[in-house]
Amino acid sequence: MVNVAIIGASGYSGAELLRVLSSHPGARVRKVTAASSAGQRVDALYPAFAGQYDLAYDELVPPGLGGIDVAFVALPSGEALKIVPALRGKVERVIDLGGDFRLKAKELYEKFYKRPHTQPELLASAVYGLPELNREAIPAASLVANPGCYATCAILALLPALKHGVIEPAGIVINALSGVSGAGRSASVDMSFAEINENVRAYRVGAHQHIPEIESVLAGASGSPVSASFVPHLLPITRGIYATTHATLAVGVSAAELITMYREFYAPHPFVRITQGIPQILAVTRSNYCDIGLAVEPRTNQVIIMSVIDNLVKGAAGQAVQNMNLMFGLGETTGLK
């Protein structure tokens, strides 16, 4: 049995970890922590967990973590820079759901996250936790950087086409729409019901922190520099991401040939499904699946790739549990289907 601590378990990603792990046959949540909710019971903050967890939130980094096998850090980016070094002396395995260890270049982190990176020595050892890309490296990792939600959706959409040289690596355009839970649980006017309801808007155009993550991971996987224009949007829904990606074809190929290529590429990977038609968010809600649809537009010599995930599951907690399963030799799908 894998003994789990969730650091920052009062936020949406932390609560989703609690939901996923509540029925996991090979793991038990032994410790939950939170800064603002310390001392409060889990089922008081989240009544849905009544009868499932007899736990109260501890201080953010409790002094006692004996017997814990893995700690999930479900905190906003920037917080893990302070938390992870303190955990590494107490817990052998750490999975960070924030963005602090996803980029190998300290300079890229500081440019897009707008803060200094105070733990650059950990960047080289952190393994990027996308199982469809790094399944061989994840089991031995002591620190896994869980991918960003938008990045997961975009990278899975583009990975086979780039690795097979089917598309040009420059000039890729990604338009992605996300539910508001991706912004976290903290209150703000911009995320209020009156501002979000019956509305769609773009944000952080050309400056989103997932841009260097998408480009650098895809460049490393394909062996060529990748440039992508990425525009995120907010949708008036709670959860889900829908990404529509446009790329120029490098070779002549039909939609049927692309579908075959993608299905063969992802055949060993249980959580990526290639659809015959157009994917939709409702098909992946509360699941760890990424659904991908493909179309070819001969008039413009472009491929159009549509990908959908649940931002709180495959984009956060579910993928983190998928990584945990690989790290501890459990079946990859355990607790996730």
Give the per-residue pLDDT at 204: 92
Summary mean pLDDT of the chain: 95
**Predicted TM-score of the model (pTM):** 0.96
| Calpha distance 128→146 (Å, rounded) | 6
Q: Is position 153 annotated as part of the catalytic site?
A: no
- Give the SS3 label for residue 35: coil
| Calpha distance 38→199 (Å, rounded) | 35
Side-chain half-sphere CA neighbours of 58 within 13 A: 15
Q: 150-311: which CATH topology? A: Dihydrodipicolinate Reductase; domain 2 (3.30.360)
Lowest mean pLDDT among 180-184, 270-274, 287-291: 180-184
Judge whether 2-147+315-327 and 150-311 match in fold.
no
Are the CB atoms for 152 and 130 separated by under 8 Å?
yes
Give the active site residue among 2, 149, 313, 324. Answer: 149
What are the structural domain ranges in the chain? Answer: 2-147+315-327, 150-311
Residue 188 CB-density burial (10 A; 0-12 exposed, 13-18 middle, 19+ buried): exposed
Q: Give per-residue pLDDT as tens, 155-168.
A: 999 999 999 999 99
Q: Give per-residue pLDDT as tens, 21-57.
A: 999 999 999 999 998 888 999 999 999 999 999 999 9
Q: Give per-residue pLDDT as tens, 281-299.
A: 999 999 999 999 999 999 9
Give the per-residue pLDDT at 62: 78
Q: 2-147+315-327: which CATH topology? A: Rossmann fold (3.40.50)
Q: Give per-residue pLDDT as tens, 209-249.
A: 999 999 999 999 999 999 999 999 999 999 999 999 999 99
pLDDT range class, residue 187, cuts 50, 70, 90:
low
Among the listed residues 260, 254, 264, 255, the one whose alpha carbon sits nearest the alpha carbon of residue 306 = 255
